[in-house]
Amino acid sequence: GPVLSRGTACPGRSSKSDSSGVSNSGESSKESSRCSTPVQDADRTDRLRDKMKRRIESGDHWFSLEFFPPRTASGAVNLISRFDRMGSGGPLFIDVTWHPAGDPGSDKETSSMMIASTAVNYCGLESVLHLTCCNQTKEKITAHLNKAKRLGLKNIMALRGDPIGEDWVEEDGGFNYATDLVKHIRCECDDYFDICVAGYPTGHPEAESYDEDLRHLKEKVDAGAHFIVTQLFFRAETFLKFVKDCRAIGITCPILPGIFPIQGYHSLRQLVKLSKLEVPEEIMQVIEPIKDNDAAIRSYGIQQAVEMCKVLLASGEVPGLHFYTLNREVATIEVLRQLGLWAEDPRRPLPWAVSAHPKRKVEDVRPIFWASRPKSYIYRTQDWDDFPNGRWGNSSSPAFGELTDYYLFYLKSKSPKEALLQMWGEELMNEESVYEVFTNYITGQTNPSGHKVMCLPWNDDPLAPETNLLKDELEKVNCRGVLTINSQPNINGKPSSDPIVGWGPAGGYVFQKAYLEFFTSSENVTALLQVLKKYEPRVNYHIVNVQGKNITNAHEMQPNAVTWGIFPGREIIQPTVVDPVSFMYWKDEAFALWIEQWAKLYEDESPSRMIIQYIHDNYFLINLVDNDFPLDSCLWQVIEDMFTLLDSPPETQEEGSQS
Amino acid sequence: GPVLSRGTACPGRSSKSDSSGVSNSGESSKESSRCSTPVQDADRTDRLRDKMKRRIESGDHWFSLEFFPPRTASGAVNLISRFDRMGSGGPLFIDVTWHPAGDPGSDKETSSMMIASTAVNYCGLESVLHLTCCNQTKEKITAHLNKAKRLGLKNIMALRGDPIGEDWVEEDGGFNYATDLVKHIRCECDDYFDICVAGYPTGHPEAESYDEDLRHLKEKVDAGAHFIVTQLFFRAETFLKFVKDCRAIGITCPILPGIFPIQGYHSLRQLVKLSKLEVPEEIMQVIEPIKDNDAAIRSYGIQQAVEMCKVLLASGEVPGLHFYTLNREVATIEVLRQLGLWAEDPRRPLPWAVSAHPKRKVEDVRPIFWASRPKSYIYRTQDWDDFPNGRWGNSSSPAFGELTDYYLFYLKSKSPKEALLQMWGEELMNEESVYEVFTNYITGQTNPSGHKVMCLPWNDDPLAPETNLLKDELEKVNCRGVLTINSQPNINGKPSSDPIVGWGPAGGYVFQKAYLEFFTSSENVTALLQVLKKYEPRVNYHIVNVQGKNITNAHEMQPNAVTWGIFPGREIIQPTVVDPVSFMYWKDEAFALWIEQWAKLYEDESPSRMIIQYIHDNYFLINLVDNDFPLDSCLWQVIEDMFTLLDSPPETQEEGSQS
């Protein structure tokens, strides 16, 4: 790709070839005046360094979170969920460590590269990928950098890494210090990456002296690093002295303290051993007596971290805090809550999570169908090149990625098979058993075997707060075989700051058309089609089965905007549409989930499996839009009318069909 | 241009080169699924023949209007106004006759070509250009056709025309019959044009017989004509017999009766003489006795036309009526009103008139500044090639056409100099005299010399009904020197069918942000800027003077949508924006109008001229948007606050400046 052709002929290249567009103009973009939307980062003017600069100027403290790549695929699925949950608290960035032993640059689900890529592309998090250089060829490093670019990564933490074996031997022509790596990155990739380097408040364990180590740090920064994250420490004054010493020798970039909330006796011991740090006496004195009481240690760790962070923030020397999470969330979130840094009510820029990939930052409209499966949507559209004007572009139906690849990773349920069977039934008796599963998911009631239905194949998480607004109606229709998988209430101009349905910049108003999507039997569809005649043109519908039979009263190509927002000084944003073309792709995925996630839990030829297979083969997938958003939704009345017609004697039905 | 390269090598060309996309799919367009708007005619699927077909299928009668090109430039300005007024009644098309003696294919303001082009491009009317072929070379005809294409004309009425001299002599190799012209058009331009031919219900005066003439008509249709408009006639049965005879010999295309409401004794006599028609005895008997009473004759003509049209429409043979207007409007509109064909409440597809030019049909957003000068906007953007997604495209600031050319024609006021002086003042005493002119325009009161102010340089017409909603507030501010030239009230979801503010398809809702644009003195601007601090971020403003000094709190590139609509089964449409880039172009035009239209009415160095020149040089042009559209507009309060601050003692003002 074109990004790869840059930076391959470093020596002698003119410096004006830096076209990556460093700029401190914040939001402005040449493209934006003709765009339909607030362009966010089309020209990469909103780089991590710029974000830090603005936060420093406004005195707005931030936090960041460090994770390591998981060992197993299911660990990866869990970590991604954790990214979503911890991302909602508003970290400025997250970083992912580099594990040379774990094939970190590969396409494995568990590689550092893929985890960081997922955080950027699927979770919308500004991410920093660690990269270590010792025992690596320049070619290998360059290949990693190019791959990172391609995947949308924009920030690198440049580290030396640990040598193989006990002692450190300099290699000729290889990378011996992080400084070499920083220089290599700047040489190969111009100013494309924001670069972070590590600082050691008590000096690097292998450095000759603290002062010698400070001079190394100054070299790393001078080579082109943009900010420093420090090794963990236990006393605020350790860090504050370190910052003072850095400033004294001319290091001016942001220096972020690494915070390690103590979470257990053994993890502390191990960490200290690896990092060759000393735990202060006053901490050991508290911990030793309670070393077998995990809860007590965690509680102490939180308190200790909060107090130290308060001192750091109050010093005026600390713009943001960097947390070593050890891939856990409780302690870090609690510390951040107590510090008032955790965003309890995060304002969303759009109703769905915006990918942080540079080319997708302008994206501002998506089909509603993937609302509960946003990662699937991003995966299936990852090869789209253009989002001109933030939209899909002029191609009438950009191909969606095949379902098959997708199964490999993103279709996986977070729950193990046994848990799914407990929720969805060890043995299904009939279609009604399936209706009960849906109903229990809606109501949150336990099923006969005493388990709550926490997810469905189409919804990995419990009911969203917004959908909760529709709970009573949803329960009523699901227990009669209208198996809902997606819905939204109508909204007629609520403030963009509304905690449940709000999104977008302050001072705006958000709107929605009522939407309902469900599976139901072909008998129900026959009655529904009768009923829908009464609701023309107020209600738009698409009704399809797995074979692709398609009944609609909507324009075959025209999307219907079902979520939009009006903001001060902006064009209209319409982030969610019911799009007839993409619905046919979603249909394949939605029907496939019956089989892949549910039917396959049961033995071949088993009655349970045959029931799901029957539904897959015979039910229809329906979506309904009530266009009259200022009025109460009529969609529940549509379903009610359908049931009334089904309940009426046959002659009445006949009459109905002639009306 | 590319349209010219088609159809120049007729013989031997494969018929598959017809890429003009004939289709009966009505609205569908490949482009539309990714567009932000209802694409109207991107692929020319909505040709005149298709529109007729749909209206015939739905039994929805139409009418069309024939005009001739005016003799003078001011006659052209008047005719264009008539197009706007008569266009609002909903004609399916208008047609413009071809006057060989009047240089009909030239660029003169009065040529047939330019009048038809204006109807298409500036008035948004589906237009048919007449073209006669006798005494013309093929090359000349081809040049006319190519020019018509380039101007966006899509329909030709192919006529023989009148020979020079008394007798008809066939020319070898030239065009002798309309059939030759039809063939030539199809040969040169494939299927690009929809072609109309003339029918003679009583036979062409030069034809050997009625039957011979019918056979000629059949030849014309077979050569590629799409519909027939007939010569005028006086009895419904004449036309109905003619249709029956046409159908009998296999003419299947639409046949539209030419209706001529008698409007005066002498015009009837002259027409009859030219057309060699006979006026039936029963009509002459009524008319002769009242021949000197114009009102009585017109009244009879209306009644006679209405009755004949009722018979025609009731016959089931007549899908639409074609009116010979003689460039007059009263009689034709009255006939159409009585027939119920005049659209009293025309539903607008967008809040402004959409150009009928094929390449501009996808346009769906314009800056608000030209709201009262839409022809100026179209003129100045006529060379823009792309309206991708109905928008301006990605070019950050497409150049607007120079003001200088524009003056030549479109800046002309419809009123003569004397009338303007009567309205705007033979002699101005001071700036307050100018305030009075603005105030009188708003209130509709007569000025001291007894004249109403019917227009201003920025507004060619009296106050729009929508602006009338703001009349009281506008009066109050204008008399104090806030000289308003554009405004709209806020609207929070009125039905799209609303007679005053509605637009777009049925079943939708329209919205607006309150908008106010005015000139005012620099003293007022100083106070206004103080006041506006209180209204951040609710109110966006742009404040510029003629030198280009520019004060704003809006994003420098981001347009602010101030009119939008939500419709069933559609994406959002946002047809009007306040765009910072185009405002700087509008500013030049708005300031120029002070001088070109007003100052130049007075002698050089005269006090009146110097007053206008002073305003031009020293006043600012300001636009204000109240982003909080669900609340009552705060813009009047902003102005009120400005006056309060100006009225307060200086020390209070100082205090204000520190708040």
CA-based nearest residue in chain B for residue A567: B627
CA-based nearest residue in chain B for residue A558: B33
Beta-carbon separation of A568 and B396 below 8 A: no
Beta-carbon separation of B570 and A554 below 8 A: no
Beta-carbon separation of B569 and A627 below 8 A: yes
Tell me the C-alpha distance between A634 and A513, whole Å. Answer: 11
> What's the pLDDT score for residue A173?
66
Q: A367: which chain B residues are within 8 Å (Cβ-Cβ)? A: none
| Strands (DSSP E) found in A505-572 | 509-512, 514-520, 539-545, 550-552, 560-566
pLDDT at residue A408 above 80? Answer: no
pLDDT at residue A341 above 60? Answer: yes
Judged by average pLDDT, the poorest of A397-406, A448-457, B111-120, B177-186 is A397-406
A569 touches chain B (CB under 8 A): yes
B47 touches chain A (CB under 8 A): no
Laid out side by side, the sheet with A509-512 consists of A366-367, A573-578, A560-566, A509-512, A491-495
Q: Which of B27, B31, B57, B66 is catalytic?
A: B66
> What's the pLDDT score for residue A526?
97
User: Between A555 and B441, where is the model more confident?
Assistant: B441
What is the CB neighbour count within 10 angstroms for residue A175? 22
pLDDT digits (tens, 9 = 90+) for A370-397: 888 888 888 888 777 665 444 544 344 5
Q: What is the mean pLDDT of residues B36-40?
A: 36
b/e B139-161 (16+ beta carbons within 10 angstroms → b): eebbebbbbbbebbbbbbbbbbb
Tell me the C-alpha distance between B187 and B224, whole Å. Answer: 10
pLDDT digits (tens, 9 = 90+) for A543-583: 999 999 999 999 887 889 999 999 999 989 899 999 888 89
Tell me the C-alpha distance between A119 and A80, whole Å. Answer: 7
A631 touches chain B (CB under 8 A): no
Tell me the C-alpha distance between B535 and B638, whole Å. Answer: 8
Crossing angle of helices A112-121 and A138-150, rounded to 10°: 20
> What's the pLDDT score for residue B650?
72
Interface of B with A in 486-525 (CB under 8 A): 492-493, 506-507, 509, 511
A555 touches chain B (CB under 8 A): yes
Beta-carbon separation of A566 and B561 below 8 A: yes
Crossing angle of helices A210-222 and A236-248, rounded to 10°: 60
Preceding peptide of B537 cis, ω within 30°:
yes
Judged by average pLDDT, the poorest of A132-136, A587-591, B139-143 is A132-136
Q: What is the mean pLDDT of residues A21-47?
A: 40
Three-state SS at A76:
helix
3-state secondary structure A591-646: HHHHHHHHHHHCCCCCHHHHHHHHHHHHCEEEEEEECCCCCCCCHHHHHHHHHHHH
What are the tokens at A55? 């936060």
Beta-carbon separation of A538 and B627 below 8 A: no
Q: Are A45 and A154 in contact (CB under 8 A)?
A: no
Judged by average pLDDT, the poorest of A287-296, A401-410, B23-32, B614-623 is B23-32
Question: Quick one: A108 exposed, middle or buried, by C-beta within 10 A (0-12, 13-18, 19+)?
Answer: middle
Residues of A classed as catalytic: 66
Judged by average pLDDT, the poorest of A11-25, A212-226, B342-356, B526-540 is A11-25
> What's the pLDDT score for residue B409?
52
pLDDT band at A410 (very low <50, low <70, confident <90, very high): low
Determine the straight-line distance between the first and last CA of chain B, rounded to whole angstroms.
Answer: 60
Q: What is the mean pLDDT of residues A335-361?
A: 82
pLDDT at residue B490 above 70? Answer: yes
Beta-carbon separation of B569 and A537 below 8 A: yes
Most confident of A9-13, A131-135, B74-78: A131-135
ipTM of the complex: 0.76
> What's the pLDDT score for residue A29?
32
> What's the pLDDT score for residue A19?
37
Judged by average pLDDT, the poorest of A107-111, A221-225, B332-336, B634-638 is A107-111
> What's the pLDDT score for residue B600?
92
Beta-carbon separation of B566 and A564 below 8 A: yes
Tell me the C-alpha distance between B186 and B226, whole Å. Answer: 11
Q: B569: which chain A residues are within 8 Å (Cβ-Cβ)? A: 537, 540, 554-555, 558, 560, 625, 627
b/e A482-500 (16+ beta carbons within 10 angstroms → b): bbbbbbbbbbbbbebeeee
pLDDT band at B11 (very low <50, low <70, confident <90, very high): very low
> What's the pLDDT score for residue A389?
43
To the nearest whole number, what is the mean pLDDT of chain B? 85
Q: What is the mean pLDDT of residues A522-551?
A: 96
> What's the pLDDT score for residue A22?
34
To the nearest whole number, what is the mean pLDDT of chain A? 85
Tell me the C-alpha distance between A80 and A69, whole Å. Answer: 10
> What's the pLDDT score for residue B170?
62
Crossing angle of helices B236-248 and B294-314, rounded to 10°: 40
Q: Which of A34, A397, A569 sits opposite B627 (nearest CB)?
A: A569
How distant is the Cα of B506 from the closest Cα of chain A, in angstroms?
Answer: 9
Q: What is the mean pLDDT of residues B362-366?
A: 80
> What's the pLDDT score for residue A170?
62
What are the tokens at B190? 């494939």
Tell me the C-alpha distance between B496 and B481, whole Å. Answer: 35
3-state secondary structure B93-160: EEEECCCHHHCCCCCCCCCHHHHHHHHHHCCCCCEEEEEECCCCCHHHHHHHHHHHHHCCCCEEEEEC
Tell me the C-alpha distance between B648 and B653, whole Å. Answer: 7
User: Between B389 and B435, where is the model more confident?
Assistant: B435
pLDDT digits (tens, 9 = 90+) for A577-613: 998 888 998 999 999 999 988 999 999 999 999 999 9
pLDDT at residue B594 above 80? Answer: yes
**What is the Cα A185 distance to its own chain's centre?**
27
pLDDT at residue B148 above 60? Answer: yes
Q: Are B67 and B94 in contact (CB under 8 A)?
A: yes
Residue type, B24: N
Cα distances (angstroms) measured from residue A360 to each of A156, A387, A577, B145, B602: 20, 7, 17, 46, 59
> What's the pLDDT score for residue B169?
56
Give the H/E segment covering residue B517. Answer: strand B514-520
Tell me the C-alpha distance between B587 and B543, whole Å. Answer: 10
Q: Are B485 and B450 in contact (CB under 8 A)?
A: no
User: Between B399 and A355, where is the model more confident?
Assistant: A355
Give the H/E segment covering residue A230. Answer: strand A227-232
What are the tokens at B420? 């303007």
What are the tokens at A646? 């089904």
CA-based nearest residue in chain B for residue A39: B558
Q: What is the mean pLDDT of residues A173-179?
A: 82
Q: Are B332 and B325 in contact (CB under 8 A)?
A: yes
pTM assigned to the model: 0.79
pLDDT band at B135 (very low <50, low <70, confident <90, very high): confident
Q: Which of A506, A537, A557 sits opposite B28 (nearest CB)?
A: A557
What is the CB neighbour count within 10 angstroms for residue A650? 7
| Strands (DSSP E) found in B200-309 | 227-232, 255-259
A152 touches chain B (CB under 8 A): no
Tell me the C-alpha distance between A344 and A358, whole Å. Answer: 27
Q: What is the mean pLDDT of residues B451-463?
A: 89
What are the tokens at A242? 């370190």
Beta-carbon separation of B577 and A571 below 8 A: yes
